[in-house]
Structure formats: structure tokens, C-alpha cells
Amino acid sequence: MSDRQSSNAYWQANLKIIYVCIAIWALVSYGFAIILRPLLSGIKIGGTDLGFWFAQQGSILVFIVLIFFYAARMNKLDRDHGVDE
């Protein structure tokens, strides 16, 4: 595989990881916290409804998990493509 093809494969895999992370972030931040909040209001967690929990804490916790997920996946991708440190 040429350097150009290898570089394109690396960036395509990187973009796929980014798109997955953005989709999860949007689903949690906008979907659960805003759009689906009325549907989640009947489910109680920590003394409040699930929609409010996602808006206040859940989306932040999911974002932090996504940061670690992205870092781990990029480290693996770097090793697979021989560009790790």
C-alpha cells in the first residue's frame, strides 16, 4: 500500500470514529436532554427525572467517556497504521 493510500485509510478510519462520537454526543445532549425530555420525565433517577439528569449531569459524563473512548481508539489506530509515538 502506498503512503497516500495508507494516509487516506488512516483519515477515513479517524473520521469514522469522530462521526460515531458526534452521533452519540448529539443523541445524549440534544435527544435525551431536550427532545425526549418529556418522555423521560416519568423515570426517576437520583431524586429527579431522567431527562433533567441527562441535561445536567448525564451529557457531561457521556462527553467525558467519549473523550477517553476517542483517545483509546486513536491510540489503537495509530499503532495499526504505524504512526504511534
Domain boundaries, the chain: 9-80
- Give the model's pLDDT for residue 1: 63
- Determine the average pLDDT of the residues in 4-23: 92
- Give the model's pLDDT for residue 46: 79
- Give the model's pLDDT for residue 34: 87
What is the CA 61 to chain-centroid distance, rounded? 11
- Give the model's pLDDT for residue 15: 96
Q: What is the pLDDT of residues 25-74, one digit of tens each?
A: 999 988 888 898 888 888 888 788 888 888 888 889 999 999 999 999 99
